[in-house]
Structure 1
């Protein structure tokens, strides 16, 4: 068993399987120049704050995907006339009294970074609910903008699945991927065992998620790609 585990670890280190899987996801959408685009607002997906650390110690730790928050702050200041929606509660099935959106709102307020155009959807537990809940929020607060294009911000590897889900929910989406971690130059024999395992785990999670969402009807496309905004619905 030890020999087998060692051989597998060596294989995924010498041959960057995880990096290949992630690279395919991360390069599916290019980051657009928003200065040349007409859009109604911005939607930022949760998945940044470590819920366990907050519940245990009351500390806000941005352990994963902090680029989503940085991008949210930048776009909120660049486009003060447009609503910026952060959506997401907790990624676990059992309610443990944690809502990432509520925690982030308080942290931004305490840090004097909260702007008037920031809004928070606090109930969604996954990407499917992100799409549905924000759709209802926009239809209620800004009905005139419900059929206009919205910018979607999430991690580059998660963007294909997110775009597919939002299209299925009736959104016109401008994909704005952030936090790309792979390089266009993929090399063999990096000998980074922990990095190889993390990349493989992250890549497999998204590919399995794409397949599961397609099979369960949460998206109409197995591997969603770029489309014209005029027909993206």
Structure 2
């Protein structure tokens, strides 16, 4: 409800209600606000500006030697495609799988852990781990190396549930693979859950690129929705104790 696309709908709804109540002045004001809001979002790279502080917290392609494991966070899988076709598909965050598979080939002795269930509020959906198992198998990753966690519905549960599954005598380093904008919250959450020797491996950059002004309502609104959601999530996790700091450097 807090995403910008919802704000736009609310403004239009208020304009309609004001018009039906014969309050044309407020109806016009709300309609004008919706128009200005749409023009600003569609023209200015607001989402990219909000994502940049998140995506630049950790360097891409960090140097690492002999990692104990590769942690791939769910979110890059497309459950609806699997339900419709039986094929394991990926969405715009599919870079998480591409990077995880590439790292698995680079470090053949490292374990591969995927964590992700279904985050649907209604219905059961397809657990992300089911899709990940098929994607990793089709990419040639040996099943003996793969550990799947399929009950998590959010990042906090990703961290807590995988910590229980992984043996305490495996101290790392662990490569944490997720979208760059999500990495600050992920690192803070994994550190709070007791993980140590985490090495962030950010992928799927959305805010890095051109900051030119130009019309692209769909694309800019999508990026802005992601940015607002992630900043809200980052602050909410800090307030609720799921992360010990707003921005955690390492653990």
The TM tier, using the shorter chain, reads: 0.7 to 0.9
Residue equivalent to 2:141: 114
Cα distance in 2 for partners of 1:78, 1:95 equals 38
TM-score for the superposition, normalised by structure 1: 0.86
C-alpha RMSD over aligned residues: 1.9
Deviation per CA, 1:81-139, whole angstroms, max 9, x where unpaired?
Answer: 11010111112234515211122213443x35232322211211111111111111112
Matches within 5 A, 1:69-218: 69-94=97-122, 96-109=124-137, 111=138, 113-115=140-142, 116-139=144-167, 143-145=168-170, 147-172=171-196, 173-183=198-208, 185-187=210-212, 189-218=213-242
Q: Does 1:26 align with 2:51?
A: no
Instruction: Measure, in 2, the Cα distance between the counterparts of 1:202 and 1:154.
Output: 14
What do residues 69-89 of structure 1 show as CA deviations (whole Å, max 9, x unaligned)? 011111111111110101111
Greater mean deviation of Cα atoms: 87-96 or 16-25: 87-96
Q: Radius of gyration: which is bigger?
A: 2
By relative contact order (CA 8 Å, sep 6+), the higher-ranking structure is 1
Aligned length: 220
Contact residue 29 and residue 225 of structure 1 kept, 8 A: no
Give 5+ residue unaligned stretches, structure 1.
Answer: none
Query: Does structure 1 residue 46 correspond to structure 2 residue 62?
Result: no
| Aligned partners of 1:28 and 1:225 also within 8 Å | no
Q: Give 4+ residue runs of structure 1 displaced > 4 Å after superposition.
A: none
Q: Which runs of 5+ in 2 are unaligned?
A: 1-29
